[in-house]
Structure 1
Amino acid sequence: MTEIQSKNQPENPTFAYVGAFVDELQRSGVHHIVFCPGSRSTPLAIAFAQHPTIRTWLHIDERSAAFFALGLAKRLTAPVALLCTSGTAAANFLPAVVEAKLTHIPLLILTADRPHELRECGAPQAIDQNRIYGTHVKWYQEAALPEATNTGLRYIRTLACRAAALTMAFPAGPVHLNFPFREPLTPDPQPLPPLEQRDPIAWNGRPDGEPYVTVSEAHSSPYVEITAGDRFVELARKMAETPRTLIVVGPHLHPRLPVMLAAMARAWRIPVLADPLSQLRGGPTLYDHIITSYDAFLRDAAFIEQAAPELIIRFGAMPVSKPLLLYMKRYKDCPQVVIDGYSDWPEPTQLASEVIQADPVAVAQYLFHAVKSYAEEPQQSPGDIAWLRLWQRADSVTRQTLRQTMEHFEEPFEGRLFTELAETLPANSILFAGNSMPVRDLDTFFWHTEKPVAIYGNRGANGIDGVVSTALGISAATTATGEKEPVFLVIGDLSFFHDMNGLLAAHLHKLDLTIILVNNDGGGIFSFLPQAAHPEHFEALFGTPTGLEFHHVVEMYNGNYALVSDWSEFRAFVEQSVEMGGLHVIELRTERESNVQMHRQLWQAVSGALAQLHDTNTESLYEEERLPEKQQLDEADVISGEAIFEPVQEGDDDFDLLEQDDR
């Protein structure tokens, strides 16, 4: 605002107060607000709606709205405000707030509340909202009651600057402000102080458009400074002296880390096991040191015995793959170094020998340049080429084996949709994987695509709720920035059921989203868990079939629906959804028991192919040349071998340490 009284600002003390707050949020980098309708939040809702440069996103259901805001902030990597009225509306934000805290997403939660005289006295829609999100927010503050004075406006501008900065301050995460309001809640004219008594900066903000308080260190972090003589020199020396080094990259949102890790691994000739949310599975073939089918071949005991590491270096959060975790436990005496970029200890296995709290991009960059110090000749790398080839050939053989075996399945196989998507998705797509089985099949069957593809998931709390809304929030972010990247969501039927309300956002805001709905009529992942061994209770307690016909829901929200029966249809509808835009739901119906058997057959085929390759030449896994991706194996070799995929039994040491959860 450049005038003492904006023409959009009503002559009302409450609205002068919230207007200053919203104005200061915009100056501090908040450009999006997701709000749910309600009476007590009226002053803030109107103030946001009247601001000319803040985009408002209406959502009816608070739980879905919160996940929608989560998706917006996740894609924008910028703070997004979230507003609701008092009472249980605020409680419905909690699941998304939990996810935001665990995954470092900058959400600014604004809850309206009754004034103090209406609390704990039986007043309607009044609950205890103080610290309602507990430790799941970085910071909480209850705002003072609105006061249109110079002191009151300076206070609320300061609070806005502080809260917005804290959402982005290292590590990013949610911040909660609770606003008590007295009636009247509408902008009815009320007396304000005379113009001559108003401090221009308090009422209008700083004239240069800058925040009232500039928080200069909002994006800083307590990273270890990387200098000669510190522990990074020791880490580089250890890598040079350890031929069988392995790098594991879990989920992360560092935009520069994938390129730096790929370059560093190539320079050192080190295999990199890349989780699908590592952002290392989409892009050019520069990433030839990236191993992506390990979830399948690390189920093979013979390979595990050959692949004994001497040093494991981990970046990012914990990977999805349980076989990878069990592999790391098998070699628990191997030094494991965790590069922790958030100071939140992403190490649930209790296996790490060292945790380094440092900027992972800076670490990778340092190690990339350090390789020259340890090479015997200028053009050499210190890594062990035989160790690298072991992983590369296993990766190539596994991909081909899985691909060829899936071709023989007569009924739709859930995992195959990810190999189909890897080939069908257009460049610059965004792929979001739901929790439970989709993210695990993504890990196993989405190996790599030459096209740039960003892959997301909610892997903080791993919940199956709010997934549709998070994906729609990401779609909204692409619309807001003008990028218009096609967004795809793969989700199971129970998770889809949890968040059907979220589809309203696609209808209200004309968003583009293609949903691949994997409908096995129940909780498919439980068929892989020990609960499946107890059939007398399994269907009622764990399988939980619903028998729902989801096309009715899609129709209600004016979406486009298709039920596919083969892969040519699947590819055609995926391509059509991109051309048409809007909301599309492509349903793939599968059988839970058949899905388990097909997974087991695939693991069996991989084990057989690796065994045959090893039997042919005991040194074959160490050959210099990587097996070409399109080389065909003999069909008999592909389908041979012993079954090795059985549910881990409860009580096993591995199960106790790294129990495969249902999310």
Structure 2
Amino acid sequence: MAQVNTINDPLQAENPTYAYVNAFIDELQRSAVHNIVICPGSRSTPLAMAIAAHPGLKTWMHVDERSAAFFALGLAKQSGQPVALVCTSGTAAANFLPAIAEAKLTHVPLLVLTADRPHELRETGAPQAIDQNRLYGTHVKWFVEVALPEATNEALRYIRTLADRAAALTRAVPAGPVHLNLPFREPLTPAPLPDHPLPPVERRDPILWQGRAENAPYVRVNDAPLGSIADEDLEQIAAQARATAHGLIVVGPSFDPTLTTPLLQLARTLRYPILADPLSQLRGGSHDQSLIVSSYDAFLRLEDFTERFVPELVIRFGAMPVAKPFLLYLNRYADCPQIVVDAQGDWNEPTRLATHMIHARPAAFCEELTARLTPPPVRGDEWLQGWLQTDRTTRQTLQAAIEDFQAPFEGRVFTELAALLPEGSTLFAGNSMPIRDMDTFFWGGPQTISTIGNRGANGIDGVISSALGVSAGKQARTPTVLVIGDLSFFHDLNGLLAARLHQLDLVIILINNDGGGIFSFLPQAAYPEHFEQLFGTPTGLEFQPVVQMYGGTYQRPADWSAFRQTFQQSIQTRGLHVIELRTERTSNVAMHRQLWQAVGSALRNQED
């Protein structure tokens, strides 16, 4: 049987499905889609074979659809470029949903390509056929039921335009996932179809069949621009800020490197402290950190502090910070004007207290507001220095108390990592307790450390896969470290296969307290009769065998000195490394509460 030439020589294609799909895949590559994650299956054969044959694409194979989707999520987060995700028809597509929901909420550009049965095989009892139209509902920005393949100039014009439009839409503000559902009839392989000949070469428009010259896209699509800031809004905010000495700048999760310099300049001009979320990228690096407050999760729990430090203006950038005490602090002072600046056109305002929503580039907002504050307002530094001194005292108190603990303390992982992580590292925090301990105990330093988490839907699923996707997207060989709890680790064990298949580097710090540690901090813990069955959910699993099954190294250091040595060895060695720390849930809660008491005592002594 003759073999069809693929995308490398599209004018010689002999199969109409492949002529159509090759044009589509070629156009995706021209639209800056360079990484495609593929799950195996039959109905997706045309997509998979066209992708594998294209020299400009990097293919990442995954056998588990849920893990594959989270891997693509992490890869897109790290690269900042759209990543395509391919699966066959049926329930395979349904397994993409958790990662798609996370991508929608955190504005990660994913292009979801689900293969499907043709229309005549739907709702007929055909195998592996479910209703895939609008399968992801409102969790995607756009859905298209793609036309069945044809090998005509008009069909290729349609499919190239669709590829450009879909890829651009994943990036356009607000960025997020787009879903294309592609039905295919059999045969699915690229063999010639004598009954369906392609038009003669002389009737094929070379631009449609081969693409534009110099790898240019068929249709250039500019990302949707953010709205400009109205002069009257800026003047009003500037007047408000100039008249307000007791203000705060708050930065939630952010991946915008252009924000740091103008943000710091705005804070210096206003003499406001910056409350920096652990995922804000502000807690560590070579930039000026003199106005950064990073331990507010601890001291905003204290009535003494929140009674004395009453905010009069809050300027917040992006989503809400992790710290629940900050949310409660805002709710306590509901009359305080709150300006929210959002780069994605979202409504990240769970307090429902915002007085002004600004949809604009945060860096541009800072620059334009600072320009209107020239000359800067003249005011004392009592407010600013009060926050900064409280932050210093809190950090010193926590550090000293943590080192006195005899039992393993989960939060210490992050104080250790702040000293151990080299420049350029990436620290990925799992949800539930790890991200909260990161918030309280990771204070940063002179090293630039990229901090990442899945803080859209905040699920514990797919975290390993997301971290491996981040590792795959890194250009330089710098460490990627994941801190994760045992239930979340168990939830995504299939994700470990990617490290072996694609020779990826990842150090996982597994905090194993045999269950759901966060519930011990919640009101459910006051009802012990069914607590372990319903919330603690211990599994008693030994993870060493499964880590070794996937080709990783597993170690369980006996103390913090051994942890440091093990960690240093792991980040200097290629491959998958799992460092397990055994902790105990009840004592972990007790140690956290001792720390809050120690901070309260230290701050009261500071005032005396």
> What is the match of residue 166 of structure 1?
169
> What is the match of residue 552 of structure 1?
545
Partner Cα separation in structure 1 for residue 459 and residue 12 of structure 2:
42
Native 8 Å contact 1:486 1:512 kept in 2: yes
- Determine whether 1:37 maps to 2:55: no
> What is the match of residue 230 of structure 1?
232
- Determine whether 1:307 maps to 2:303: no
Partner Cα separation in structure 2 for residue 82 and residue 531 of structure 1:
39
Instruction: Supply the RMSD in Å over aligned alpha carbons.
Output: 1.5
Partner Cα separation in structure 2 for residue 188 and residue 339 of structure 1:
55
Partner Cα separation in structure 2 for residue 473 and residue 9 of structure 1:
36
> What is the match of residue 582 of structure 2?
589
Describe the SS at the equivalent of 1:286. coil
Describe the SS at the equivalent of 1:146. coil
> What is the match of residue 284 of structure 2?
282
* TM-score normalised per structure 2: 0.97
1:180 counterpart (169, 175, 183): 183
* TM-score normalised per structure 1: 0.89
Partner Cα separation in structure 2 for residue 9 and residue 491 of structure 1:
51
Change (3 A) 1:23 1:151: same
Partner Cα separation in structure 2 for residue 4 and residue 413 of structure 1:
56
Native 8 Å contact 2:508 2:578 kept in 1: yes
2:352 counterpart (339, 346, 350): 350
Native 8 Å contact 1:428 1:453 kept in 2: yes
- One-letter code aligned to 1:525: I
- One-letter code aligned to 1:342: Q
Change (3 A) 1:383 1:548: farther
Q: After superposition, give the CA deviation of every residue in 1:474-507 in whole Å (9 maximum; x if it has no partner).
A: 00001xxx32221000000000011010000000
Cα displacement (A) at 1:36: 0.3
In percent, how many aligned pairs have the same letter?
64
Cα displacement (A) at 1:252: 2.0
Native 8 Å contact 1:262 1:290 kept in 2: no
Partner Cα separation in structure 1 for residue 87 and residue 188 of structure 2:
14
Cα displacement (A) at 1:372: 2.3
Describe the SS at the equivalent of 2:481. strand
Partner Cα separation in structure 2 for residue 278 and residue 107 of structure 1:
22
Partner Cα separation in structure 2 for residue 246 and residue 104 of structure 1:
26
Describe the SS at the equivalent of 1:89. helix
Q: After superposition, give the CA deviation of every residue in 1:233-284 in whole Å (9 maximum; x if it has no partner).
A: 2212211110101111111222211332123212322101111011111113
Cα displacement (A) at 1:50: 0.3
Structure 2 gap ranges (5+): none
For structure 1, which segment, 563-572 or 365-374, has the greater mean C-alpha deviation from structure 2 after superposition? 365-374
Change (3 A) 1:4 1:444: closer
1:333 counterpart (332, 335, 338): 335
Native 8 Å contact 1:430 1:487 kept in 2: yes
2:92 counterpart (71, 89, 92): 89
Native 8 Å contact 2:89 2:116 kept in 1: yes
Describe the SS at the equivalent of 2:114. strand
- One-letter code aligned to 1:327: Y
Describe the SS at the equivalent of 1:455. strand
Native 8 Å contact 1:9 1:15 kept in 2: no
2:105 counterpart (86, 91, 102): 102
- One-letter code aligned to 2:75: L
Describe the SS at the equivalent of 2:358. strand
Partner Cα separation in structure 2 for residue 295 and residue 38 of structure 1:
47
> What is the match of residue 30 of structure 2?
27
2:462 counterpart (466, 479, 487): 466
Native 8 Å contact 2:278 2:439 kept in 1: yes
Describe the SS at the equivalent of 1:372. coil
1:449 counterpart (417, 424, 445): 445
- Determine whether 1:488 maps to 2:481: yes
Describe the SS at the equivalent of 2:187. coil
Change (3 A) 1:4 1:523: closer
Change (3 A) 1:3 1:576: closer
Q: After superposition, give the CA deviation of every residue in 1:603-643 in whole Å (9 maximum; x if it has no partner).
A: 0000000011111xxxxxxxxxxxxxxxxxxxxxxxxxxxx
Partner Cα separation in structure 2 for residue 420 and residue 4 of structure 1:
51
1:213 counterpart (219, 230, 243): 219
Cα displacement (A) at 1:208: 3.4
Native 8 Å contact 1:4 1:203 kept in 2: no
Native 8 Å contact 2:512 2:580 kept in 1: yes
> What is the match of residue 563 of structure 1?
556
Describe the SS at the equivalent of 2:168. helix
> What is the match of residue 143 of structure 1?
146
2:120 counterpart (107, 117, 141): 117
- Determine whether 1:436 maps to 2:432: yes
Give 1:471-620 correspondences, 5 Å limit. Answer: 471-478=467-474, 482-615=475-608
- One-letter code aligned to 2:368: Y
- One-letter code aligned to 1:340: D
- Determine whether 1:196 maps to 2:198: no
1:319 counterpart (306, 318, 321): 321
What count of residue pairs does the alignment treat as equivalent?
A: 601
